Structure 1
Amino acid sequence: MPAEGPTRPMRGAPCWVSLLARDLKAAQDFYATVLGWTFRPTTLGEEFSLALADGDPVAGIGALAPSIQVAVAWTAYFSVEDADDTAARIRERGATVAVGPLRIGPGRAALAADRDGATFGFWEGETLPWSVGHGKAPACLELRTRDAFAAAIFYAEVFDWAKPGGCEVTYEDEQVLVRDGTHTVAALRGGAVEAAPDPRVRPQWHVHFPVRDLEKVTTAARSAGGSVLPVDPAVDEDAGRRAVIRDPDGGIFSVTAIPS
Structure 2
Amino acid sequence: MSAHRPTPPVRGAPCWVSLLARDLEAAQGFYSAVLDWRFRPASLGEEFSIALLDGEPVAGIGALAQSLQIAVAWTAYFAVEDADDTAGRIRERGATVAVGPLKLGPGRAALAADRDGATFGFWEGQTLAWSVGQGNAPACLELRTRDAFEAAIFYAEVFGWASKEPGGCDVTYEHDQVIVRDGTHIVATLHGGAVESAPDPRVRPRWHVHFPVRDIEKVTAAAVAAGGTATPVAPGVEGAGRQAVIRDPDGGIFTVTAS
Aligned residue for 2:216? 214
8 A contact 2:241–2:258 mirrored in 1? no
TM-score (norm 1): 0.95
Other structure's SS at 1:191 match? coil
Q: Which whole-Å deviations, capped at 9, do the CAs of 1:13-62 have from their partners, x for residues lacking one?
A: 00000000001011000000000000011222221111000100011101
Once residues 234 and 146 of structure 2 are traced to their aligned partners in structure 1, the CA distance between those partners, rounded to angstroms, is: 17
Q: Which whole-Å deviations, capped at 9, do the CAs of 1:197-216 have from their partners, x for residues lacking one?
A: 00000000000001011111
Aligned residue for 2:231? 229
Once residues 59 and 240 of structure 1 are traced to their aligned partners in structure 2, the CA distance between those partners, rounded to angstroms, is: 21
Aligned residue for 2:67? 67
Q: Which whole-Å deviations, capped at 9, do the CAs of 1:177-215 have from their partners, x for residues lacking one?
A: 000111000000011100000000000000000101111
> Alpha-carbon deviation of 1:76?
0.1
Aligned residue for 1:161? 161
Extract unaligned runs of 5+ from structure 2. Answer: none
Aligned residue for 1:182? 184
Aligned residue for 1:241? 242
Instruction: Give runs of aligned pairs for residues 122-201 of structure 1, distance below 5 A.
Output: 122-163=122-163, 164-165=165-166, 166-201=168-203
> Alpha-carbon deviation of 1:232?
4.6
Once residues 231 and 130 of structure 1 are traced to their aligned partners in structure 2, the CA distance between those partners, rounded to angstroms, is: 27
Once residues 178 and 240 of structure 1 are traced to their aligned partners in structure 2, the CA distance between those partners, rounded to angstroms, is: 20
Instruction: Give runs of aligned pairs for residues 43-122 of structure 1, distance below 5 A.
Output: 43-122=43-122
In structure 2, do the counterparts of structure 1 residues 201 and 230 end up closer, same or farther at CA, with 3 Å as the change threshold? Answer: farther
Once residues 68 and 136 of structure 1 are traced to their aligned partners in structure 2, the CA distance between those partners, rounded to angstroms, is: 30
Once residues 210 and 49 of structure 1 are traced to their aligned partners in structure 2, the CA distance between those partners, rounded to angstroms, is: 20
Name the aligned partner's letter for residue 115 of structure 1. R
Q: Does 1:202 align with 2:204?
A: yes
Once residues 202 and 83 of structure 2 are traced to their aligned partners in structure 1, the CA distance between those partners, rounded to angstroms, is: 33
CA root-mean-square deviation? 1.5
> Alpha-carbon deviation of 1:240?
6.1
Once residues 209 and 230 of structure 1 are traced to their aligned partners in structure 2, the CA distance between those partners, rounded to angstroms, is: 14
Other structure's SS at 1:245 match? strand
Other structure's SS at 1:90 match? helix
Moved more, 68-77 or 222-231: 222-231
Name the aligned partner's letter for residue 15 of structure 2. C
Identity %: 79
TM-score (norm 2): 0.95
Q: Count how many residue pairs are aligned between Structure 1 and Structure 2.
A: 254
Q: Which whole-Å deviations, capped at 9, do the CAs of 1:63-87 have from their partners, x for residues lacking one?
A: 1112322210000000001111100
> Alpha-carbon deviation of 1:106?
0.8
Q: Which whole-Å deviations, capped at 9, do the CAs of 1:103-139 have from their partners, x for residues lacking one?
A: 1111111000000000000001100100000000000
Name the aligned partner's letter for residue 253 of structure 2. I
Extract unaligned runs of 5+ from structure 1. Answer: none
Name the aligned partner's letter for residue 249 of structure 2. P
Name the aligned partner's letter for residue 213 of structure 1. D
Moved more, 43-52 or 134-143: 43-52
Once residues 231 and 256 of structure 1 are traced to their aligned partners in structure 2, the CA distance between those partners, rounded to angstroms, is: 10
Name the aligned partner's letter for residue 81 of structure 2. E
Moved more, 20-29 or 223-232: 223-232
